[in-house]
Structure 1
Amino acid sequence: MSATDDLVPMLKKLRLSGVLQSLELRTNQAADDNLALSEFLYRLLADEVERREAKQLMQRVRRANFEHAKTIEDFDFTFNASIPKAKVLELATCAFVERHDNVLIVGPTGVGKSHLAQALGHRACRAGHTVAYVGAHELLVQLRAARGDGSSEKRLLRFTTPDVLIVDDLGLRGLAQDEPADLYEIVRRRYEDGSTIITSNRAIEEWPPMFGNPLLASAAMDRLLHHAHVLVIEGDSYRNPPPTRRKKAQAA
């Protein structure tokens, strides 16, 4: 039995079995480069730290349940000059998450709202934050179903406990029945306790009427807009640009 074989049960007991993946490589490297024992140990453990961080990032991204794998790096800022690139890059540092600020992204269909929202969510995952992505319609459907089966509190926790909640496409349709109250409850619970990113085709001024009740609307909007970054994006749809822009893109 080799020394490595003796190490296996010990490493498993210490929950360090991942070290075995690079042990032989680092051992050979230490011998070839005549590394000090402390340097050998540092490199071996650094490999394990890197593996664990990569695994944790994958788990956070998977649990976020993004609709698409979107990042800031693959966003085309050149397509639309109205997109505040400097502001987006500042938000990508995720300092807003630490401050529990909100991000509201409004504009017509196809200008990149969902891409930016999910890209900011991905950056938050990379920074170690928990993230949840959900379409506005799906969010309200889940809360309505939870009312029916008595699991409202459990379902609310799914949307109120993550560091960042992304609600995509709010306002595609009006809010009905208990939906305004459900949306308000999420806003209320997350206020100054987590960051909420919302995208919408409607201008901010059009959001209050969706709640139906002026008092409810005022309470919700007051909390949403306090410590909020509002990005207003205008311009053509990236997916369906006008003929002139499409010809230029094809020529390029």
Structure 2
Amino acid sequence: MNPSPELNTTLKQLRLSGVLDSLEQRNRQAIDGKLAYTEFLAMLLHDEVARRDQKKLGARILRAGFALGKTLESFDFDRLPKLNRAHINDLATGRYIDEKVAILMVGQTGVGKSHIAQALGHCAARQGRDVVFVTQTDLLKKLHAARATGMYERKFQQFVRVPLLIVDDFALKPLRAPHDEDFHDLVAARYERAATIKNLSIPHNDFQS
């Protein structure tokens, strides 16, 4: 038994696509399971909430600027047996974001610092937090471009206010004026106000956080 076309039209008008997508399946479940009307309604509303949460997460991840597939689930911890996996899992809880802690990840180029940092960003996004992932070079380019158009303060505050800022390739190149002051001001503005992860490459095989 399919729901009426009129109901489908009403759900579209109300933008309840989560309900619409699962309506036929849930209707069948309700009939087969002889569910109460309130149970049927609760299932439909849960589907709608799940759809909206997933949509928000997708938008949050898109805004963050992560590379595709950089999650903890896809990281090969066996490649780095010395990496403290328990510590990474603790960071994945997001407690450091609540505590507004700055984290420095140090290791040789190519060992996986960027992957881990983005994976932690993914975890934060799943927890409902806004994240920005950016290389130090691109961050400073964005600030420089904003200064040229009179939008520097607005762009600067966007970087200041984001709950988690992940700066890749930190200190990879020497900074010159005014970039050095811009970056110093940003770090100072976020100190004890928001969490920051910085990735620093060094010429040896250790990876620490």
Question: Equivalents in 1 of 2:135, 2:36: separation in Å?
Answer: 54
What is the TM-score normalised by the length of structure 2? 0.89
Q: Which residue of 2 aligns with 1:171?
A: 171
Q: Does 1:35 align with 2:35?
A: yes
Runs of 4+, deviation exceeding 6 Å: none
Specify the code of the residue in structure 2 equivalent to 1:34.
Answer: K
Unaligned ranges ≥5, structure 2: none
Question: Equivalents in 2 of 1:54, 1:108: separation in Å?
Answer: 35
Per-residue deviation, 1:14: 4.3
Q: Which residue of 2 aligns with 1:22?
A: 22
Per-residue deviation, 1:13: 5.4
What is the TM-score normalised by the length of structure 1? 0.75
Q: Secondary structure at the match of 1:74?
A: coil
Q: Which residue of 1 aligns with 2:137?
A: 137
Question: Equivalents in 2 of 1:70, 1:11: separation in Å?
Answer: 36
Question: Per the alignment, do residues 191 and 9 of structure 1 end up closer, same or farther by CA in structure 2, a change over 3 Å counting?
Answer: farther
Per-residue deviation, 1:100: 1.5
Unaligned ranges ≥5, structure 1: 204-231, 236-252
Per-residue deviation, 1:82: 2.2
Per-residue deviation, 1:191: 2.1
Specify the code of the residue in structure 2 equivalent to 1:142.
Answer: K
Q: Secondary structure at the match of 2:52?
A: helix
Q: Secondary structure at the match of 2:4?
A: helix
Q: Which residue of 1 aligns with 2:206?
A: 234
Per-residue deviation, 1:43: 1.1
Q: Which residue of 1 aligns with 2:200?
A: 200
- Cα deviation 1:43-67 (Å, max 9, x = unaligned): 1111111111111111111010113
- Cα deviation 1:100-126 (Å, max 9, x = unaligned): 212210111111110111010011011
Q: Secondary structure at the match of 1:134?
A: strand
Q: Which residue of 1 aligns with 2:105?
A: 105
Q: Which residue of 2 aligns with 1:90?
A: 90
Q: Which residue of 2 aligns with 1:154?
A: 154
Question: Equivalents in 1 of 2:101, 2:4: separation in Å?
Answer: 50
Question: Equivalents in 1 of 2:38, 2:109: separation in Å?
Answer: 56
Q: Which residue of 2 aligns with 1:116?
A: 116
Q: Secondary structure at the match of 2:59?
A: helix
Assess if the C-alpha contact under 8 Å between 1:105 and 1:233 holds in 2: no
Question: Equivalents in 1 of 2:148, 2:118: separation in Å?
Answer: 30
Q: Does 1:191 align with 2:188?
A: no
Q: Secondary structure at the match of 1:133?
A: strand
Q: Secondary structure at the match of 1:173?
A: coil
Specify the code of the residue in structure 2 equivalent to 1:125.
Answer: A
Specify the code of the residue in structure 1 equivalent to 2:18.
Answer: G
Q: Secondary structure at the match of 1:109?
A: coil
Per-residue deviation, 1:31: 1.0
Percent of aligned positions with the same letter in both sequences? 43
Per-residue deviation, 1:93: 1.0
Q: Which residue of 2 aligns with 1:209?
A: none
Question: Equivalents in 1 of 2:20, 2:26: separation in Å?
Answer: 10
Per-residue deviation, 1:6: 3.5
Specify the code of the residue in structure 2 equivalent to 1:197.
Answer: I
